[in-house]
Every structure is written in C-alpha cells, then in structure tokens.
C-alpha cells in the first residue's frame, strides 16, 4: 500500500507530463483531453483504493531526527483526496468543450494535472514539513491557472494571489520552526502534541494564532481574503471552479492539522486564540455575503460568496466541538460540490452568451434551461434549503456552536449564519427569478437555444445531483467523520 500511496500522489503530474510530450497528443487536442480525463479517472480509483489502507504511512526522507517528509492515510485524508479527485475529473471533462478554441489549452492541462498531485500530497501529508512542501508546490503550480488568459488583469491577479499565498505560507514556515522547538516534533498526531510536551502556553498560543492566520489566507479568511475575489474571476471557468471549490480547502485542511493534530484543542479551547479565531470567521462570513450581494459581475459575485462560505467551515473548526467539527467537514464536501457546480454554470453561460454581468442575463432560463436549473439547485444548497447537503452541514454547525460552550459566539454564530443565508438567497436566486421569469416586456419570439453540449452539461448535472445526495446521504458521511472526531476531540 505504501507504493500505491506514492503513486496516488505523483501519478496526475506524471500523466500530465507524459501527455504533454506525447507527439500524437501535442497535435490532437481531443486525444490530449481524453488521455488527461482517463488519467484523472484512474487517479480517483487510486485514492478510493487507499481508503482501505487507513493507518498506513511511509517516511520519504529524514532531514533531521525531528523533521521528516512522511505520508500517512487517515479518515480525513481519504475524504479530502476523494473529494478533490472527483471535482478535478468533472472540471476536466467540462474543460474539453469550454477550452475548445483556447490558444494556451496545452499548457493549462499540464498545470491542471500537476496541481492535483500537489493537493493529493497535502491530503496524505503526515507532518507539517511535508504539508508545507506540497502547499508551496500547489501555490506555484496554480499561479499559471490564474494568469492563463495573459491579460494585464490576469497577470495582476496572479501576482496578487502569489504575494498573499507566499505571505500566508511564510507564517506556516514560522510555525514549523517554533512548533518543532515547543513540541519536539511536527508530525501530525490525533489530539495534538502540546499537552504531552508541557510546552510554554503563551508562546505557543501566539505562534498557533499566526499559523491559523497564515493558512487562513488560502481559505480566504479576513483580513487575508483580498486575493480571492481578484484571482477567481479572471481564470477560465474550470480553473475558477477548482480554485474556489477545492484549492481553498487546502487552507482548511492545514488549519485542521495544526489545531487538531499538532497543537491540540485542549491547549487552545477557551483561550484568546479560539475567540480571536471565532471572531475572524464570523466577520468573514458576514462581510463576504454582503460584498457578494452588492457585486454585479457574475464570477466575482461567486468569488465573494466563497469568501463567506469557506469561513462557515472555519467557524465550525474554531468551535472545537464534535458536532461543529462534523458540520465543518460536511460543509467542505457540500461547498465543494455546490461551488464547482455554480462556477461551471457561470462558465457555460459566459461561454455561450459572452455576458458576464448579472443584469444582462434576464431571460437566460429560456435560452439555457438545463444550465439554469443546475444553477438553481446548487443555489438552494448554498442557501441551506433541505434536503440539500448545505442544509445538513449548516444544521450541524449551528447545533455544534450552541453546544460548544463558547459564550456569546454560540448565539452570534447561528444568527450570522442565518443572515448570511438570507443574503445568499438574494444574490443567487436573482439570476433564477429573472432568468425564468423575465417579464412581459421580454421578447419571447427572439429566444434561441444556447444550451451547451454534453461535455459541459453532464458535469453540471452530476454536481446538481450531488448537491441533493450530500443531504440525503449525510448520515453515512457523519458516521465516517465521527471516526476522525473521536480521535481528536
């Protein structure tokens, strides 16, 4: 199983490089796309197979007696790896048609495949050193996806993304130095290492907060959220989908590993670090929803929505309670499914109509009914309407917050989540209402079918169905998450 683990990490990048150099694929875009999609399907099978090998680990390199590059399979790594592989595959299928006439599609596919390798490495990272190496690789390899269009706006967005990401990662690197000093190791251990090490509390708390803030950058947490609404809208829609639905979760997973597997909740619970963390997450939830409500540009509206929704997850983690933790992981799954779906729907609309502003999409449901139905179902999930996955995850988050014993945050959290849900309904369902009911002055006689082909439609439908299944099948997921929660809480 150790060989399978290494293969799962490096296979997507190796497959992307092989396709890049294959002479037949260089000249044949469709062959290249099929090979990449086939490789991603095989990668999904690899990570599913690794779910049977929980507890397996391998040390790749000893840099010092306490600093090692190591991989390990556990419940969380399986959840994140399978989720990321599914989203990558669906986005790749969508990209076959979306990037039909793109001049730089060849290089896009290479970076797209390589980024997944870095993300799978993050999932199976067994120590903070390993996580940091793959985290930096993920950042550097994803920059070309942001600047893909080569426009001045795209280049500026890529630079901003890189600066924010490197600053956040530097705080993570600072954490490696100090955690190794305070804790004697940076190997991820369920429940954390601080209680056993007897580390000095004050210094450890400061470093813990800085590291949470640093990795929170990738998750779009205030005040380090500025890169996200700039970078996501300029990238191609398949890239925007995984940037928003998947890559932001790299920051989430980093926070989980630091709080629950390195420092430990017993050290952080009830301290100023927990309350500062809760405060930043709730500010982000409310601020992101308000900015999304005011934003007229379709993809940028979705980017601000991501700022808000990913901090739902961080809020659940900051509560440091089993129910809230379960809600956070459920929302990781639900949000990835929903936001990938929304970005692909937005990409289909832009690809077929050339329109990028919400105000110009009146009557779009008459031209693209399947696309708008997929948008609507995903929107209901993000709002939190039963029986979608978004409803179940938010229920768990609110219940967990009330039971977590975090004082005023136990009440403020559910209230802000409800206010955010109302704002989410306002900025997402506006497109649905105006799209299906354009009004009596709309020229119905001029309506023409602009629905995209199957390669773009099928991934959107699969994700829309997934939004509902995340709610209907929530209990089995909760049972799996409870296994991880039992070891760390």
SS3 content of the chain, % helix, strand, coil (to 5): 80, 5, 20
Comparing CA positions, the residue from 436, 276, 262, 283 lying closest to residue 362 is 436
Q: Are strands 57-62 and 68-72 parallel, antiparallel or unpaired?
A: antiparallel
Cα gap 347→340, rounded to integer Å:
10
Q: Which helix (H) or strand (E) is 36 found in, with range? A: helix 29-50
In a domain, 96, yes or no: no
Length of the chain in terms of residues written: 489
In 28-114, the DSSP E strands lie at 57-62, 68-72
In a domain, 88, yes or no: no
Answer for the pair 238, 347: CB distance below 8 angstroms, yes or no.
yes
In a domain, 472, yes or no: yes
In a domain, 92, yes or no: no
Cα gap 397→102, rounded to integer Å:
42
Q: Give the CA-trace dihedral at 263, 265, 269, 274, to 10 degrees.
A: 60
Q: Which residue has the tokens 């390990």?
A: 72
Comparing CA positions, the residue from 185, 178, 174 lying closest to residue 59 is 185
- Predicted pLDDT of residue 345: 95
Cβ atoms within 10 Å, residue 83: 20
300 Cβ contact list (under 8 Å, min separation 6): 229, 232, 233
Q: Which residue has the tokens 């739902």?
A: 312
467 Cβ contact list (under 8 Å, min separation 6): 334, 337, 338, 341, 377, 378, 380, 381, 388, 389, 390
pLDDT digits (tens, 9 = 90+) for 168-192: 999 999 999 999 888 888 999 998 8
- Predicted pLDDT of residue 200: 61
Please give the C-alpha separations between residue 309 and each of 107, 172, 211, 240, 242, in angstroms, as whole numbers.
31, 23, 21, 15, 15
pLDDT digits (tens, 9 = 90+) for 222-278: 988 888 888 878 888 888 898 888 999 999 999 999 999 999 999 999 999 999 999
Q: Is the dihedral of CA 297, 381, 280, 214 positive or negative?
A: negative
In a domain, 281, yes or no: yes
In a domain, 350, yes or no: yes
Q: Is the dihedral of CA 252, 338, 456, 351 positive or negative?
A: negative
Token duo for residue 256: 């989980």
- Predicted pLDDT of residue 259: 95
In a domain, 167, yes or no: no
Please give the C-alpha separations between residue 470 and each of 210, 314, 335, 387, in angstroms, as whole numbers.
33, 19, 10, 9
350 Cβ contact list (under 8 Å, min separation 6): 237, 298, 299, 356
Q: Give the CA-trace dihedral at 326, 327, 331, 332, to 10 degrees.
A: -30
In a domain, 397, yes or no: yes
Determine if residue 212 is left, alpha or beta; phi over 0 gives left, psi from -120 to 50 gives alpha, anything else beta.
alpha
Q: What is the 3-state secondary structure (H, E, C) of 382-432?
A: HHCCCCCHHHHHHHHHHHHHHHCCCCCHHHHHHHHHHHHHHHHHHHHHHHH
Q: What is the CA radius of gyration of the chain?
A: 22
Q: Which domain holds residue 421?
A: 269-489
In terms of C-beta density within 10 A (0-12 exposed, 13-18 middle, 19 or more buried), how is residue 390 classed?
buried
Cα gap 308→219, rounded to integer Å:
10
The domain total for the chain is 1
pTM tops 0.85: yes
Q: For the chain, which ranges sit under pLDDT 50?
A: none
């Amino acid at each position: 199983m150790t060989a399978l683990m290494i293969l799962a990490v490096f296979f997507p990048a190796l497959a992307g490089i092989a396709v890049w150099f294959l002479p037949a694929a260089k000249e044949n875009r469709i062959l290249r796309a099929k090979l990449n999609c086939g490789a991603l399907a095989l990668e999904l099978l690899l990570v599913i197979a690794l779910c049977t090998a929980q507890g397996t680990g391998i040390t790749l390199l000893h840099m010092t007696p306490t600093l090692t590059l190591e991989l390990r399979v556990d419940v969380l790594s399986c959840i994140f790896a399978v989720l990321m592989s599914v989203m990558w595959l669906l986005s790749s299928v969508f990209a076959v048609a979306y990037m039909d006439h793109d001049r730089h599609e060849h290089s896009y596919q290479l970076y797209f495949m390589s980024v997944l390798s870095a993300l799978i490495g993050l999932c199976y990272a067994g120590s903070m050193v390993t996580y940091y190496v793959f985290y930096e690789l993920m950042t550097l390899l994803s920059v070309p996806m942001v600047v893909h269009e080569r426009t001045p706006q795209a280049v500026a967005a890529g630079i901003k993304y890189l600066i924010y990401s490197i600053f956040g990662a530097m705080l993570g690197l600072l954490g490696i130095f100090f955690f190794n000093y305070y804790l004697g190791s940076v190997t991820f251990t369920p429940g954390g290492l601080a209680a056993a090490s007897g580390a000095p509390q004050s210094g450890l708390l400061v470093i813990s907060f800085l590291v949470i803030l640093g990795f929170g950058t990738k998750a779009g947490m205030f005040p380090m959220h500025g890169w996200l609404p700039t970078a996501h809208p300029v990238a191609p829609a398949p890239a925007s989908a995984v940037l928003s639905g998947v890559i932001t979760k790299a920051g989430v997973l980093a926070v989980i590993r630091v709080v629950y597997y390195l420092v430990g909740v017993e050290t952080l619970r009830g301290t100023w670090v927990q309350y500062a963390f809760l405060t930043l997450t709730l500010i982000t939830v409310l601020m992101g929803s308000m900015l999304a409500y005011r934003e007229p540009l379709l993809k940028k509206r979705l980017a601000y929505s991501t700022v808000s929704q990913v901090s739902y997850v961080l809020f659940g983690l900051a509560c440091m309670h089993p129910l809230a933790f379960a809600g956070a992981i459920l929302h990781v799954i639900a949000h990835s499914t929903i936001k990938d779906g929304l970005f692909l729907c937005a990409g289909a609309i832009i690809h077929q109509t050339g329109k990028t502003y919400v105000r110009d999409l009146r009557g779009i449901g008459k031209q693209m009914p399947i696309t708008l139905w997929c948008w609507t179902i995903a929107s209901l999930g993000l709002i939190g309407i039963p029986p979608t996955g978004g409803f179940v995850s938010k229920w768990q988050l609110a219940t967990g917050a009330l039971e977590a014993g975090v004082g005023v945050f136990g009440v403020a959290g559910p209230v802000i989540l409800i206010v955010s849900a109302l704002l989410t309904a306002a900025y997402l369902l506006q497109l649905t209402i105006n799209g299906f009911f354009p009004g009596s002055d709309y020229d119905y006689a001029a309506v023409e079918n602009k629905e995209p082909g199957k390669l773009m439609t099928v991934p959107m439908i699969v994700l829309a169905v997934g939004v509902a299944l995340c709610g209907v099948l929530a209990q089995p997921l909760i049972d799996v998450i409870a296994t991880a929660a039992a070891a760390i809480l």
